[in-house]
Amino acid sequence: MKAIIDCNSFYAACERVFNPSLNGKPVVVLSNNDGCIVSRTDEAKALGIKMAGPYYEAKEMLEQHKVAVFSSNYHLYGDMSWRVMETLRMLCQHVEVYSVDEAFADLKGIQESAMWNYGLHISNTVEQWTGIPVSVGIAATKTLAKVANHLAKKNKVATQGTVALLTPGQIREALENTAVQNVWGVGFRSTEKLRWLGIDTAWKLRSMSEEWAHKNLGGVVGTRLIKELNGISCIEMKDPLRKKKMIATTRMFGKPVFELAQLKEAIATYTSRAAEKLRRQSGAARLIHVFVVTNDYSAHNYNYNPSTKGLYTTLPIATSLTNQLIAHAIMLIEKLYKKGSRYLKAGVMLTDIVPDTSIQYNLFEPPAHDNLRSLMHAIDNINFGMRDELVKFATSGTKKNWKMRQEHRSLRHTTRWDELYEIH
């Protein structure tokens, strides 16, 4: 049996851990830069607040209903996520962290009669230890577990946040009560097609043949979906330590940027971050890709019509050295820059990643000096220990007026000594 454990309104729940007066009250959390709403509690959903809706559109309504609004506090959410996952690792043999707020767990060895109770035990322990409420779905396959989780979330009180689909009867009832668009892996386009064919519930989808799914739902993916709904496990637990094939750092600017100098600072900063992530997985990249999003408008009408432009370059040898990567990134942004454009966003992507130990040296390029590598190692250690890019490359700039807007961020209670919660 497999379980999926999913945190309820995760970001908002993190805010509630240190602010219990918000329990039972509507809370929303905004994305990077206070752009749109990315997390809502049930109370906020009940007010009709839309997911991913722009903040400025909802602002008046949020004030009117006295909704608590927070900017993203990624330091807090990251730490809370670690706590949830670590707790799960104590309770289950094999945990696959699927995203910041959800994980699959293998419940091998637990008797079916004890399954629901074990799910409840997981949910109670996570909430007791971390303060984060979770929903648990248990079934024979990942796809069915997702269905179970969805039902647990929809009926928190009746199910106590835990649903296990074990008997054919339970599975049938659950699938009949699940709209086809809520099935894991059914996209927007497939939903339209399925609805047009009269397949509106997961139960109806389940009875379709594998051949039909292969033809109509994207080949192997479709076949797998039908099998999973029929209780035949096809999507196995993944190895927890998988190295990324691509590393990207991208942000919206606090306000539009016009100057090349500022753009260069931003790109240098993002490159440093990406290089740090690259070194953390002991990788080296061969391809660096820089992109920008602009939104230009004429004098008379403002339209949000963003366009993305990007350029990439292949490095002579794979590297993880920040200075080398920055040098290439800066060349790319200089080529990309067009005077007069409004830049909203920029990003750096590192791909073609190879393990740092197996870098293919090129006859014409001298190998990276070991002392440069030691320097990177030292910088990473200082920055990890002291926080906030204490040591950085001068190209990254020192003022950063293009940085994220975060007007409602709570304190980082779990990661900073000077921001601890004050108890009376």
Round the CA-based radius of gyration of the chain to a whole number and report it.
24
8 Å CB contact between 30 and 55: yes
160 versus 351: smaller Cβ distance to another protein = 160
Q: Report which of 248, 247, 245 is spatially closest to residue 346, judged by C-alpha positions.
A: 248
Count of Cβ atoms closer than 10 Å to residue 111 Cβ? 10
Contact track, another protein, 109-128, x by CB under 8 A: -----------xx--xx--x
Q: What ranges make up the beta strands (E) of 307-342?
A: 307-319
Min CB(160)–another protein separation in Å: 8
Q: Which of 160, 177, 313, 351 binds another protein (CB under 8 A)?
A: 160
Computed from CA positions of residues 94, 96, 100, 102, in that sequence, does the dihedral angle turn out positive or negative? negative
Dist. CA 37–CA 59, nearest whole Å: 10
Q: Which of 46, 51, 61, 90 binds another protein (CB under 8 A)?
A: 90
Spatial neighbors of 368 by CB under 8 A, at least 6 apart, are 317, 319, 321, 324, 359
SS3 349: strand
163 versus 368: smaller Cβ distance to another protein = 163
Min CB(147)–another protein separation in Å: 24
| Binding window for another protein (CB under 8 A); candidates: 7-15, 88-96, 206-214, 319-327 | 88-96
Count of Cβ atoms closer than 10 Å to residue 292 Cβ? 25
76 versus 293: smaller Cβ distance to another protein = 76
Q: Is 361 in the site for another protein (CB under 8 A)?
A: no
Q: Which of 32, 73, 87, 141 binds another protein (CB under 8 A)?
A: 87
Q: Is 130 in the site for another protein (CB under 8 A)?
A: yes
Min CB(23)–another protein separation in Å: 7
8 Å CB contact between 275 and 322: yes
Min CB(216)–another protein separation in Å: 45
Within positions 12 to 41, which residues make up the interface with another protein, using CB under 8 A?
A: 18, 20-23
| Binding window for another protein (CB under 8 A); candidates: 2-10, 202-210, 382-390, 415-423 | 415-423
For residue 159 the two structure tokens come to 């199910």
91 versus 100: smaller Cβ distance to another protein = 91
Whole-angstrom CA distances from 73 to 11, 372, 409 are: 8, 34, 6
Residues of the shown chain interacting with another protein in the complex, contacts defined by CB under 8 A: 18, 20-23, 82-84, 86-87, 89-91, 120-121, 124-125, 128-131, 160, 413-414, 417, 420-424
